[in-house]
Amino acid sequence: MKIASWNVNSLRVRLEQVTDWLTNNQPDVLCLQELKMTDEEFPIEAFKSIGYHSLFTGQKTYNGVAFISSRPLTNLITDLPNFDDPMRRYIAADFKSEKGEIIRIVNVYCPNGQSLDSDKFVYKREWFRKLQDAMGTDIKTNPNTVLVGDFNITPGDIDCHDPLKWAGKIHCSDIERLILQKLMSEGLFDTFRHFHKEGDRYSWWDYRGAGYRANEGLRIDLILSSSAMMNKVQNCWIDETPRKLDRPSDHTPVVAEYTV
């Protein structure tokens, strides 16, 4: 089973890149973030025409998350449990493998937070607290759980191109890294880092100042696997191909492959 996560920064603008990527890579489940469109505008037919099913929760202008899957997913949830929030940042569903194993997949667009002294950071902390509770429950219910998405936190200095410049800043602060560690203490593992110990590997690069060409990036898009799924993971990689295209998203896909 191949799972991928990609913050597309407007599905309207990136649709052709996404359908091309699906055709070329044939994942079982592609998890999208930052759709920036309403459910009425979602391009179901474009995905259907290349053999993919869609589940999504969107809103005008901001946020929005979706599953694009080779087979229908079940047990859909589009709200972070126990958190009343109009922002469309959470979607979860079950994938049934060819062997009949059920995999719980949770796809998130975590809050940015803006800065540590912002009201938006209070919201980020609260949102992560609720996500942690939900993941604890999910992993107990089904040990075969994968949490993917744009976390808007670098796990460590190795995931930041310039730790001195970013020290204490949003995405790279100690408090955010503790929040991520607490979430992962529910039994989740950084799948890319398991296979790749080297630095200078990122999933996001600023549009400004030719950030991609200089490889000035952050690794904030993660695939977190439960221990049961870590026992089945074959490989995990970042695919920089879409970041080199004209009019790219500022993020690029992260992919993991499992034997299930």
Residues lying near DNA in the complex (CB under 7 A): 7, 9-10, 12-13, 34, 36-37, 60-62, 111-112, 114, 120, 150, 152, 170-171, 204, 206-209, 218, 220, 247, 250
User: CB-wise, 12 or 48, nearer to DNA?
Assistant: 12
DSSP element (H, E) containing 45? helix 44-48
What whole-number distance in Å separates Cα of residue 34 and Cα of residue 114?
16
CA 179 to chain centre: 17
DSSP string computed for 201-226: --SEE-TGGGTTTTT-EE--EEEEEE
- 23's tokens: 């055709």
- Tell which residue, 39, 32, 2, has the closest CA to residue 17: 32
- 100's tokens: 């009949």
In the block, tokens 């110990």 appear at 197
Q: Which residues contact 175 (CB under 8 A, 6 or more apart)?
A: 116
Residue 147's φ and ψ, nearest 5 degrees, are -115, 120
> Minimum CB separation from DNA for residue 102, in Å?
30
> Minimum CB separation from DNA for residue 144, in Å?
28
- Tell which residue, 141, 128, 37, 52, has the closest CA to residue 90: 128
Which residues are known to be catalytic?
A: 109, 150
> Minimum CB separation from DNA for residue 43, in Å?
12
> Minimum CB separation from DNA for residue 94, in Å?
27
User: CB-wise, 115 or 185, nearer to DNA?
Assistant: 115
User: CB-wise, 80 or 218, nearer to DNA?
Assistant: 218
Amino acid at site 165: K
> Minimum CB separation from DNA for residue 89, in Å?
10
User: CB-wise, 62 or 237, nearer to DNA?
Assistant: 62
In the block, tokens 């025409």 appear at 49
Residue 42's φ and ψ, nearest 5 degrees, are -65, 130
User: CB-wise, 138 or 250, nearer to DNA?
Assistant: 250
